[in-house]
Amino acid sequence: MAEVANGGDVLGMFLAIGIPLLLTFGPISFSAIYGSFYQKGKMNKLLEREKGVGGAFKDPITNLSKPIGNKKILNSSLMWESVVIGPSWWQMLLGWIGSLFGGRLNAFTDIYDWARREALQRLREKIISSNFDDIINLRIETSMMSSSNKSKDKTAAMEIVAYGTAVKYE
């Protein structure tokens, strides 16, 4: 006859199976849930800031090498802003799975798009607070950063730098 399990056996079974599962999938699950909410919140804040600066006015940033029109430049200066962003554990897992099949890695697209837009928005806000009129000759540079130069450590981040010549017209 089968023996009836007592409370100690059930607790022991739960601890033997539950704790390893929690330690294995807990951090990834937390990263997926919290990271999703956090990044959506950051994107919503960025959208509000973009509406506030560029909504009613012309965009002061251009990649043209010379200003539009025959305006005389009174003053100029180099302006730059940068953003460093890295994917969450969940996004790295999705990226790794996606790399097995090839194609576009959508897990990274959203956060790198946010970082590029954030760098440009910071540059817009900086030009307005510095009393310059426009930024011409805009350039955007990206660079990968890793905590180790050996291939075993896959922890990586991307730095996006947006820079250009800020000009003040007469």
Domain ranges of the chain: 7-169
Q: How confident is the model at residue 65 (pLDDT cuts 50, 70, 90)?
A: confident
E-assigned strand segments in the chain:
73-85, 134-146, 156-169
Give per-residue pLDDT as tens, 34-46: 888 888 898 899 8
Angle between helices 7-54 and 106-129 (to 10 degrees): 40
Q: How many CB atoms lie within 10 A of CB 115?
A: 21
Q: What is 7-169's CATH topology?
A: Translation Initiation Factor IF3 (3.30.110)
pLDDT, average across residues 18-36: 83
146 pLDDT exceeds 80? no
Q: Percentage of residues in the chain with pLDDT exceeding 90? A: 25
Q: What are phi and psi of 166, to 5 degrees?
A: -80, 135
Predicted structure pTM score: 0.74
Residue 24's pLDDT is: 84
Classify residue 11 as left (phi > 0), alpha (psi -120 to 50) or beta: alpha
Angle between helices 7-54 and 89-101 (to 10 degrees): 90
* Residues in contact with 84: Cβ distance below 8 Å, sequence separation at least 6, in sequence order: 115, 145, 157, 158, 159, 160
Q: What are phi and psi of 141, to 5 degrees?
A: -115, 145
Residue 107's pLDDT is: 73
Residue 100's pLDDT is: 85
Residue 90's pLDDT is: 83
Give per-residue pLDDT as tens, 93-126: 888 888 788 877 777 788 888 999 999 999 999 9
